[in-house]
Chains A and B, each alone.
Chain A
Amino acid sequence: GEDVEQSLFLSVREGDSSVINCTYTDSSSTYLYWYKQEPGAGLQLLTYIFSNMDMKQDQRLTVLLNKKDKHLSLRIADTQTGDSAIYFCAERSGYGNNRLAFGKGNQVVVIP
């Protein structure tokens, strides 16, 4: 089955870059996603990457995918206080049922 691992906590100064890492186990994953959860709110889809890509850039966000090592990262450039949240990576199984397996989340705290 799918298993997604994330580290727990990251503190970063405003204006710096932050990098959040994630490893997954299901080699059949077709899409990998990054979601953001602000306190008391639902999950907001930030970006996703298809498994045949190794990089995707979307404004301040850069997603890197190392399929060989099953490693996914999210880089946030010029981190803002509004980026303080919990970030979840998720993988979609390749088996057609659109099941998402989520990591445990990584809390990012931006220090002004």
Chain B
Amino acid sequence: DAGVTQSPTHLIKTRGQQVTLRCSPKSGHDTVSWYQQALGQGPQFIFQYYEEEERQRGNFPDRFSGHQFPNYSSELNVNALLLGDSALYLCASSFTGGAGTEAFFGQGTRLTVV
């Protein structure tokens, strides 16, 4: 089992550009969540996808959008990049089976906006 895989691992973009990050969940998982982790901070919840729908959203602007595909993989899109969007973006997958269900995290994508 490959676990949760994210691509790319590192990315450098210019202010105002758009970026797409990708995530493949752990086998058997149907739910994907995205988190933003700024340097020295804890991860902050962006949104969660289940059955190809956004099920829950954190306090992030509409510039952040996502998608989930029929095979449960997911994309995170960020438009009009700002310097403050520089962070580690983490994808977590889980199986929708209650609040105690463990979330498995990928290695993350390090986004740098210059």
Q: Is the pairing of A and B real?
A: no
